[in-house]
Chain A
Amino acid sequence: MILFEKHILKNGLKVVVHTDRTTPMAAVNVAYNVGARNEHPEKTGFAHLFEHLMFGGSVNIPNYDMPVQKVGGENNAFTTNDLTNYYITLPAQNIETAFWLESDRMLELAFSERSLEVQKNVVIEEFKQRYLNQPYGDVYPLMKDLAYKVHPYRWPTIGKDISHIENATLADVKDFFFKYYAPNNAVLSVTGNVDANKVFRLAEKWFGDIPRREVPNNEIPSEPKQTEFRHKQVERKVPYHGLYISFHMHEKLHPNYYVADLISDVLSNGQSSRLYRNLVIEKQLFSELDAYISGDNDPGLFSVSGKLIDGVDIETAQKAIWHELNKLKSEIINTVELQKVINKVEANLIYAEIGYLNKAISLAAYELMGDAEMINRQSDLYRQVSSSKIRDLAENMFSDQNCSTLFYLKKQS
């Protein structure tokens, strides 16, 4: 159970505080309700590029990082499909420094041409480092492009193409800032060795006078129901064939989201899981094989991905995976196996209560989705999953018409 207090400032900024006296530190976290799904199809990668620019100085503070380090703090940020999240962890005595820094960059950025040019280069190198210069690095963008036709989840957070990043202008940057970086489009969460009332006072002092902004209520196009099997085959200079199979699944606020998550655990969480035991160890078809959900707010993907043992035929491997998926449709999973995956999720939720930073990030994300209290309902939602719900969802989800399959073949040299 994670206890917290909540307060909303006049400008619409939501503030959530959780006190954890077991640490001398504090985390100050700001999540903005904007991610890759808010991007224009011709200007992809922008939310993430913008995240980089948030470190280029703000209207009153030329250098963001220096004051953080001066108080013994650390900071970083990440961008997902759904949100952009910034955090500072620092000794709790110096927490006010974090309020000063975060409020100033919510007030207004420095907007410099030079910072934009440099960060474009940095992001292009990140693009290469993560996606282009790694074996199998482009699997994720290929699969998104295959599985989605309309919804902005069809491009990766880093962007669809390097040219989109290269073409970004300072006018785009300003426009994006004033559209989305508003107090009424953000959640401030503070955790650690802090007093809730003091946090609310500091929030009022530093964030209270930032004007509310007009945030566009742009509808995100929803993905039409897939009606036919999709298949793509590519050849790359990699040592082994890769096989990737994805299915559309429910959005995060749907009860079936939790059912899908547990199905992925039955298939591949730990060395006792089905795919590992049957296809990696027994049949020795794969050297690596995983099942997982994408974790998106809007309807996301349930994926199975594997690398084949040298010499194994990719269609044999594909059949073997389908055999496991079909078993979930035809045979009801026994209670011991179900209880095992539920226990594991519950233990992991307890482990997650140790880290004050994780708690800050989760509280903000749930508050953005509608209610921070959801953090305390997770355990129940998993416990409500039954064997028959697993079978019903498997029946529904694991069909050809809902499936995108990528054969990622090694180039014969």
Chain B
Amino acid sequence: MINRISGPEIANIDTIEYLLPERWKLDNGIQVWGLNGGSQELVKIDFIFEAGTWYQPFNLVAGLTNAFMNQGSKSYSAQTIAEIFDSKGAYLNLSADQQFGSLTVFTLNKYLDEILEVAANVIKHPVFPKKELSAQIAKKKQQFIIENNKVKVLAQKTFSQVVFGEAHPYANTNSFPDYDKLKREHFIDFHQKYYTANNCRIIVAGLYTPEMKNSLNKHFGGTDWLADHEIKQLNFEFSPSNKPVHFIEKDDALQSAIRIGRLMPNRNHPDYYGLTILSTVLGGYFGSRLMSNVREDKGYTYGIGSGIFSLKNAAFLSISTEVGVAFCHPALKEIYFEIERLQNEPIGDEELRLVKNYLMGETIRSFDGVFASSQSLRTLIESDLEYSHYDGFLEVLKRITPNDLMSLAQQYFNKNDLFEVVAGKAIFPKESL
């Protein structure tokens, strides 16, 4: 008979093998990181620029400059760019966040040179044609309105304003009238300032060959796109709200969205590792305390989670969920109950061992294959860190104790320091009980 009660023996995993990058420079000095591996003849190339909202002169410019770069370039119309990528089954993904604007090319190896030819034209010489701009802006405007009908979007926006301060570039204060202020010149100007060789870093991942490296240099290694200007370093102070609780009314809501959190030290701070582990205990996995309590025990929500999100100049804690409007107050009560429990009781050994193993598994996943590894490498590059950052995490993961975590909770998880944002329908607490 097999033992179905206690289950098989568990192998403990305590080391991780990273695939380490090779580094080289293009002729014009652009730094390239390469992760060579995989099983298929394909490659993913990230072009990363410091061109996020941090640098934008006003709302929407950073995100839309990035989003509109594929809408036509000096040598190719928007349609031709799309035709070429689609006909090779290749992808050009555009994205911009608070700090960075990036373009990611994904293609079969055999088409790389042709694809890079087009990508280079798009990156160096986008023209932001009037007709495409007007169609795209009309589209974005409508998407904005639709998104802003969702309680989670309303809560998220207010939360970012409250945590960072409304004037800070990490805060999302985009409004509908902002779209009408945009002019073509804003995109041209922003592109010219920030999408330059001096401001570019490249990550190549996949089964690449020396010829492919040459092709990359041919298309991106020239002096033609070196900037003749210095990028001005900008500094912004955080000014979190002085009001701890915020409510955004949406009277037809069936669920209310909750966000709770605050500024936190980021990856560059020694407490970051412990805080990550702590927020995992709280709400970072399916069996976490918040999931077990608010979903699996009470059934107030489909999902609840917490995490520490690290940006270049700060990190923040965010606890987030959507709950039936009648459950909003009881859910808030349980969230604070779980936070206070972290401050008042050491985490049990069994639970901590489970979280450590879970995070070990997550770390293995984040280096599983070239594409996951390139994402983890990108995280390092964007924070100016080395692989020792991940070694440091594994070290802390091994030795951190319940008491260490309790003191971190006491230092960083005080209810008085947390912001609470709710978007949805107001219901008085007594009605909901």
Show the binding face of A for B, using Cβ within 8 Å.
20, 22-25, 60-61, 63, 65-67, 69-75, 89-91, 93-94, 96-97, 99-101, 103-104, 107, 117-126, 128-130, 132-136, 205-206, 237-240, 269-273, 277, 280-281, 284, 287-288, 307, 309-310, 336, 339-341, 343-348, 350-351, 353-354
Contact = CB atoms under 8 A, between A and B. Distances in A.
10 closest Cβ pairs, A-B complex = A347-B89, A72-B361, A121-B299, A272-B82, A271-B82, A96-B8, A93-B11, A126-B302, A287-B142, A340-B87
Contact of B322 (A89, A129, A307): A129
Given A122-B299, A271-B78, A340-B87, A281 B323 contact: no
A193 to B, nearest CB: 10
A244 to B, nearest CB: 15
Interface in B1-49: 2, 4-5, 7-11, 13, 17, 37-40, 42
A91 B364 contact: yes
A69 B142 contact: no
Interface string B77-120: 01101110111111000000000000000101000000000000
A28 B106 CA distance: 29
A104 B4 contact: yes
B132 interface: yes
Interface stretch (B56-64, B351-359, B405-413): B351-359
A120 B296 CA distance: 11
B153 to A, nearest CB: 11
B365 interface: yes
B387 interface: no
A133 B254 contact: yes
Contacts of B146: 135-136, 238-240, 307
B56 to A, nearest CB: 23
Nearest to B301: A125
Nearest to A276: B82
Most buried by A among B89, B145, B355: B89
A107 B37 CA distance: 41
B86 A340 contact: yes
Nearest to A107: B4
B244 interface: no
A72 B357 contact: yes
B151 interface: yes
A133 B139 contact: no
Contacts of A280: 135, 139
A383 to B, nearest CB: 14
B301 A287 contact: no
B195 interface: no
Interface in B330-356: 353-355
Contact of A350 (B40, B299, B301): B40
Contacts of B254: 128, 132-133
A125 B40 contact: no
B368 A128 contact: no
Contacts of B295: 122
B83 A133 contact: no
A339 to B, nearest CB: 7
> Which of B108, B299, B301 counts the most A-chain CB atoms under 10 A from its CB?
B299
A25 B368 CA distance: 8
A175 B323 CA distance: 31
Q: Interface of chain A, helix or strand or loop or mixed?
A: helix
Contacts, number: 206
B150 interface: yes
A238 B39 contact: no
A97 B40 contact: no
Interface in B319-333: 322-324
Given A238-B149, A280-B135, A287-B138, A69 B358 contact: yes
Chain B contact residues (Cβ within 8 angstroms of A): what range?
A: 35 or more
A120 B149 CA distance: 27
Interface string B386-413: 0000000000000000000000000000
A240 B138 CA distance: 13
A288 B85 contact: no
B252 interface: yes
Task: Identify the interface centre among B78, B87, B135, B296: most chain A CB within 10 Å of its CB.
Answer: B87
B253 A133 contact: yes
B299 A307 contact: no
A354 B369 contact: yes
Nearest to B250: A133
A347 B89 CA distance: 5
Given A69-B286, A118-B297, A347-B89, A23 B142 contact: no
B357 A348 contact: no
B150 A288 contact: no
B88 A343 contact: yes
Contact of A240 (B7, B86, B142, B299): B142
Contacts of A281: 78, 131-132, 135
A238 B296 CA distance: 33
A72 B5 CA distance: 20
A344 B108 CA distance: 11
Given A69-B355, A271-B79, A340-B86, 13 more contacts: A20-B39, A60-B5, A69-B357, A71-B361, A90-B361, A94-B13, A128-B324, A133-B254, A136-B146, A271-B82, A277-B79, A341-B86, A343-B87
A340 B10 contact: no
B138 to A, nearest CB: 6
A91 B367 CA distance: 12
B128 interface: no
Contact of B299 (A118, A340, A341, A353): A118
Contacts of B54: none
10 contacts: A20-B39, A70-B357, A72-B358, A104-B4, A122-B302, A124-B324, A128-B254, A128-B255, A135-B150, A271-B82
Contacts of A74: 286, 361-362, 365
B83 A66 contact: no
B240 interface: no
A91 B361 contact: yes
A126 B254 CA distance: 11
Contact of A354 (B145, B151, B371): B371
Given A71-B361, A93-B11, A125 B302 contact: yes
B287 interface: yes
Contact of B13 (A72, A129, A336): A72
Given A66-B287, A271-B78, A73 B361 contact: yes
Contacts of A66: 287, 354
B183 interface: no
A69 B354 contact: yes
A379 B418 CA distance: 54
Which of B143, B295, B296, B353 has the largest number of chain A CB atoms within 10 A?
B296
B285 interface: yes
Contacts of A119: 299
A100 B8 contact: yes
Given A24-B368, A72-B360, A100 B142 contact: no
B353 A70 contact: yes
Contacts of A69: 285-287, 354-355, 357-358, 361
A347 B108 contact: yes
Contacts of A284: 134-135, 138
B383 to A, nearest CB: 25
Nearest to A63: B287
Contacts of B170: none
A369 B328 CA distance: 44
A182 B285 CA distance: 30
Contacts of B145: 239-240
